[in-house]
């Protein structure tokens, strides 16, 4: 069965530190990858998505992600985090049955 896995359950950083959150997916045919963010008390919202083309994808709020086909990875990055980036981050992908599959999530805490 297709799966999405996230390496880190909880990441703690200081402001201005660089961020990289890992995501690996099992191959399921057509590539489609998403990063969602859930700020405390708010809706899940889309940060960025990748289907094809340039493997470096830029999203909202200064986030980017790189698709590396050989590693089945789609890691999320941000050069300099802010306290307001404190949230839970989810990697997701549609499987062949059309279901959106989420990773377990990574909780990011940014210390001011």
Which positions touch another protein (CB under 8 A)? 4, 9, 30, 32, 34, 36, 42-46, 49, 51, 90, 92, 94, 97-105
Residue 16 CB, nearest approach to another protein (Å): 28
Residues 73, 94, 12, CA angle at the centre, nearest 5°?
Answer: 45
CB-based contacts of 22, cutoff 8 Å, min separation 6: 6, 7, 8, 73, 75
Give the nearer residue to another protein in terms of CB position, either 17 or 94.
94
DSSP label at residue 4? E
Give the nearer residue to another protein in terms of CB position, either 73 or 95.
95
């Amino acid at each position: 069965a297709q799966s999405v896995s996230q390496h880190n359950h909880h990441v703690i950083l200081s402001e201005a530190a660089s961020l990289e959150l890992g995501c690996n997916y099992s191959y399921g045919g057509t590539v489609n990858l998403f990063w969602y963010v859930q700020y405390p008390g708010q809706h899940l919202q889309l940060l960025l998505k990748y289907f094809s083309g340039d493997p470096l994808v830029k999203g909202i709020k200064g986030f980017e992600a790189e698709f590396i086909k050989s590693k089945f990875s789609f890691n999320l990055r941000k050069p300099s985090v802010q306290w307001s980036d404190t949230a839970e981050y989810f990697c997701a992908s549609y499987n062949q049955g059309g279901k959106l599959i989420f990773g377990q999530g990574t909780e990011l805490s940014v210390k001011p």
